[in-house]
A = this chain, B = another copy of it.
Amino acid sequence: MAAQASGYIVQPVSKALRVLVHVAEKGHGVPLAEIAADVRLPKTTVFRYLQTLVAAEFLHHDMESDHYSVGHRFRALARADTSLQRLRNLALPEMAELRRAFNETINLGIMVDGHIVYIDMMESSHALRMQTRIGDRDPVHSTSLGKAMLAFLPEAECAALVRRSLRARTARTVIDQPTLLRQLAKTRRLGYAIEIGENEDGAMCIGAPILDGTGRPLAALSLSAPEKRLTRTVAATAAAALCDAARRISVRFGAPAG
């Protein structure tokens, strides 16, 4: 194992990972003895690592046969990661096309524990342009991305998020719950969300949700621009284009094509 190099290697961790890799690489359940032999570590040690990995649900222990195999925590993480990978790949060309068509900043974001985080972005070439950095977070209720996802979340989850205290980012941020719910209903009807100066003074934003096969929003696309530049008619065509793009991505995730 190439576990040296940096002097800051924590042996237990390093060795436990070797065990994890070994179990994951075989497709089937493996017994303790075999693992210990293959990884060249004392049975006792491997035993402890396995217990720990099982407790963390990275591995699964089948009591019947005393075999170890990959656990659901590991699978869940993997799935989350690959779906993100996939999302980026599918979204990037659509975003490029949107940027080309409108020359405004296009964002791709997901929701993580009640916040919007930007996972990709293409900037407009205007000197005056909206800027967010990948990895940044914004509140759900003050962004078009957030509203677009909120609107298509299952009733209960949406309600829970709206019920939290809503912080005002600007003078125009809507912090009144009934008002927000009304906007969400409208978003559901139109298929896209709008936000004007609610997150950043002078900026506005249009967002459309990307849904998976079950109808759950897993991300959203948005176009953001200075309020002045987005005339009513441009905004309308942009909204349509965003919805089209978002829908094309959605179908690749199993959403109904209609």
Contact residues in B for A24 (Cβ distance below 8 Å):
77, 80-81
Q: Would you call B119 and A73 a contact (CB within 8 A)?
A: no
Q: Would you call A13 and B82 a contact (CB within 8 A)?
A: no
Contact residues in B for A190 (Cβ distance below 8 Å):
none
Q: Would you call B77 and A25 a contact (CB within 8 A)?
A: yes
Neighbour of A112 across the interface among B17, B27, B77, B78, CB < 8 A: B27
Q: Would you call A51 and B8 a contact (CB within 8 A)?
A: yes
Contacts A27-B119, A29-B135, A135-B29 given; does A13 touch B81 at CB 8 Å: no
Task: Please encode chain A, from 2 to 44, with 1 for each CB lying within 8 Å of some chain B CB and 0 for all others.
Answer: 1111101110111011100100111111100000000000000
Contact residues in B for A67 (Cβ distance below 8 Å):
135
User: How many copies of this kind of chain does the complex include?
Assistant: 2
Contact residues in B for A17 (Cβ distance below 8 Å):
52-53, 56, 58
Q: Flag whether A167 is at the interface (Cβ < 8 A).
A: no
Contacts A27-B84, A27-B119, A119-B27 given; does A14 touch B75 at CB 8 Å: no
Neighbour of A8 across the interface among B10, B47, B118, B135, CB < 8 A: B47
Given contacts A14-B55, A78-B81, 7 further A-B contacts (CB under 8 A): A4-B55, A6-B55, A8-B48, A8-B51, A13-B53, A17-B52, A26-B117
Q: A-side interface residues toward B, CB under 8 Å?
A: 1-6, 8-10, 12-14, 16-18, 21, 24-30, 47-49, 51-53, 55-56, 58, 67, 70, 73-75, 77-82, 84-85, 110, 112, 117-119, 134-135
